Structure 1
Amino acid sequence: PPPIPLVFCPPTIGDPEARSSCGLIEFFPDLILRFDPNGNILEVQESIDPDLRLIGCTVGQPMTECFDASFIINLFSYSQRATKARSLQSFESVLTLKDQQIFCEVRLVPADRGERVAIIRNITERKRLEQALLADAIHDSLTGLPNRSVFMEKAARAVALKKSSTAYNFAVLFVDLDNFKVVNDSLGHLVGDQLLIDIALKLKEGLRSYDTVARLGGDEFAILLHNIPSVAIAIEVANQIQQSLAIPLWIDNREVFSSASIGIAFSDGEYDSVEAILHHADLAMYRAKAAGRSQYAVFDPALDN
């Protein structure tokens, strides 16, 4: 098939139809660039997007003076694919222009005479939206903590690692706030929400960067402690949490007291799934709550009967 035609707009043009086409192209959001096999700029159709302006770059200039090396390498690689396949090729890249980085979608068009044509579009806003949607999908919207699905995925990896390495151990802590419904009903949902946010911050205190604390839902949280030598470490973390929660919080001009019941399940048992160890941590949590709240309990196989 013939190459895809492109209309560039010279300063003067006699054909009314071509002049009309050029008028449309001048309002395109894309930067259109024609260059030779040596990387010299042959022609430029500027974008109406101010962030895509090639400030200081002119026709005849080498592209190395306008773009960074990695971008140029991709440009040539995909343009060769386009020429060979006689079809449109595209890639996404980060482009540095005017000392700022923008995300770009670059489409390479088959061209004659060894020339290359690139159509560059700014997709920074689209990327930001995608990243925001991804963050919403894996984080709890209120506390910003990882959500249940993220926790289950990470805990599943820990279970798999334990199966392949007996030297590796981990623990799951199931944290359930005591009397949260009373706070929520008596002081209102805004105070209840702020309490959850503040407690989320407290739960993260003292944890290592590779440990995970997540909100499972409602007033339930879970903590995954990686690579610990014994259950004593998990007990120490539970004690630290209890001590931290014992300090009242100041919310909406009033003191708000909180506590939590914590269940601990250690990986020294044979666990085939993350659901099993989380269930055992949950059973231990209910034993702690039955013991008078603001307590912790370590899972005992007798609880599963």
Structure 2
Amino acid sequence: MNWFLGLNWGIQWGTVFTVLGTLTAAFLGQVFSHRYSQKREELKLKKESFQNLYSPVVFKVIKYLELECNKHNHIALTNISELEYDEKNQDNEAFSPSMQFNEFFKTIGSNLKYGSLELIREYQDILSKERLNKAFRGYYGGVYIEKIKFCEVFLTDYINLSKEIGIYSPTIKEPVEGALLFTKLKPLIKKIDEDFSSPFLSDYPRFYKLISNIQKKRNFIKRVANLDQKYSRLKNRKDHKFTYIVNYYLDNKAYKLLKDISSSFVDLKKPRYFFENGDKSLYASWETNVNSLLPFYVYKDMLASIKNYKRVK
């Protein structure tokens, strides 16, 4: 034991600090280098996704929405059935929204590895619905609502990726955000009209050009997203009376949003906003459809409980 006590324990602190400093610098260098490499790799993957999947398809998505708009306005004008229109134009790219959708849907399927998880889920949902249609010979119904949801997810991904890689230009901003607002409003109208008593859902494709040309699109997009979140919070609530009251409140908020959109339409007197025979404007049809959603079904004494809405904010 004497040998241990007799050792010279004079510590060279300068050497210790030098060694510790060197090790710390090396460690931090590795951390930051790894972090930088990871971010660079993530940015590279985002650029690949944008170049291979989203950029080549975005204008085809917008074109599809325009063709659906033209189709439904033509049907409203001529009083032919949707089936007749589809059969007549099934091989005409200039008039067939189905051909346009199938074209970019196939492109997305070939590059699905670059898509977001939500886009992949919506893609599979449409495939499942189409298989059911074939199995039941169309009895299961159309897939327009699913297609609109698919377009909404795609456009949302496109905007987010464009911003993240720094190429979201004003040139693309207007048409993309106009299309996104259009796709977001469809599910909102469906929430208000749960029993499908209004013709609004079937008429909705006609109003693409009106909606995509309004001002302050980003503000409306945020309002729709906010309402979607609040509707979602009601799904798991067990207090049915409370849910009913709050749902009524949200329906009124959604109705007000649609009325605000009505007041935001621009250049309503331009010819493209009217039917060819000039007897009824698209704007008037929009107003009629919006008014058909006005909620009348809650008694006035229930409005006193609307303050409970704060519980889901």
More strand by share: 1
- The TM-score with structure 1 as length reference comes to 0.28
Report which of the two structures shows the higher radius of gyration computed on alpha carbons. Answer: 1
When you count helix as a share of all residues, which structure comes out higher? 2
